[in-house]
Amino acid sequence: MKFTYIALAAVSCTALVACGGNKNATPATDPTPAPAPAAVSDSGKVSLDSAVDRYSYALGMDLGKAIANISVPLKLDVIISAIRDEVDSGRTVLMTDSASEVALQDLLLKMQQKKEADEKAAAKKALDEQAAFLAKNITDSTVKVTTKGVQYKVIKDGAGAMPKVGDKVQVHYIGSLLDGTEFDNSVKRGEPLEFPVSAVIEGWQDLLQVMKEGMKVKAWIPSALAYGEAGVPPMIPANALLVFEVELLKVYTETPAVDTTAVAPAAPADAAKTGEVTSVEPAAPETAKPAEPAKPAKEEKKPAKGKKK
Residue 190 belongs to a domain = yes
Domain count, the chain: 1
Query: Which DSSP string do the residues of the chain spell out, in sequence order?
Result: --HHHHHHHHHHHHHHHHHH--TTSPPPP--SPPPPPPPB-TTSPBP--SHHHHHHHHHHHHHHHHHHT--S---HHHHHHHHHHHH-TTS--SS-HHHHHHHHHHHHHHHHHHHHHHHHHHHHHHHHHHHHHHHHHTTSTTEEE-TTS-EEEEEE---SPPP-TT-EEEEEEEEEETTS-EEEEHHHHT--EEEEGGGS-HHHHHHHTT--TT-EEEEEE-GGGTTTTT-BTTTB-TTPPEEEEEEEEEEE--PPPP-TTPPPPPPPTTHHHHT------PPPPPPPPPPPPPPPPPPPPPPPPPPP-
Residue 53 a catalytic site member: no
Residue 111 belongs to a domain = no
Provide the β-strand partners of residue 185.
Answer: 174
Residue 120 belongs to a domain = no
CATH number of the domain bearing residue 162: 3.10.50.40
Distance CA 211, CA 207 (A): 7
pLDDT of residue 254: 76
With CA atoms as reference, report the closest residue to 191 among 263, 117, 113, 249.
Answer: 249
pLDDT of residue 73: 93
Residue 45 belongs to a domain = no
Residue 80 a catalytic site member: no
Residue 184 a catalytic site member: yes
Q: Which of 85, 138, 167, 183 is catalytic?
A: 183
Q: What sign does the CA torsion over 110, 120, 228, 190 have?
A: negative
pLDDT of residue 267: 44
Residues 130/138, Cβ–Cβ less than 8 Å: no
pLDDT of residue 37: 52
**For residue 247, what are the domain limits?**
143-252
Q: Which of 206, 221, 236, 244 is catalytic?
A: 244
Burial classification of residue 139, based on how many CB atoms lie within 10 Å of its CB (0-12 exposed, 13-18 middle, 19 or more buried) = exposed
Digit-by-digit pLDDT tens for the chain (309 residues) are 444 444 445 444 443 434 444 444 333 334 444 444 545 554 568 889 999 999 999 999 999 999 999 989 999 999 999 999 999 999 999 999 999 999 999 999 999 999 999 999 999 999 999 999 999 999 999 999 999 999 999 999 999 999 999 999 999 999 999 999 999 999 999 999 999 999 999 999 999 999 999 999 999 999 999 999 999 999 999 999 999 999 999 999 976 555 555 444 444 444 444 444 444 344 444 444 544 545 544 544 555 554 444
Residue 165 belongs to a domain = yes
Q: Which of 201, 221, 259, 270 is catalytic?
A: 201
With CA atoms as reference, report the closest residue to 165 among 196, 142, 133, 137.
Answer: 196
Taking the C-alpha atoms of 70, 71, 77 and 83 in order, what is their torsion angle to the nearest 10 degrees?
-20
Residue 244 a catalytic site member: yes
Q: Which of 6, 152, 173, 236 is catalytic?
A: 173
Q: Which of 53, 62, 167, 184 is catalytic?
A: 184
pLDDT of residue 45: 82
pLDDT of residue 256: 57
Residues 56/64, Cβ–Cβ less than 8 Å: no
Distance CA 102, CA 116 (A): 21
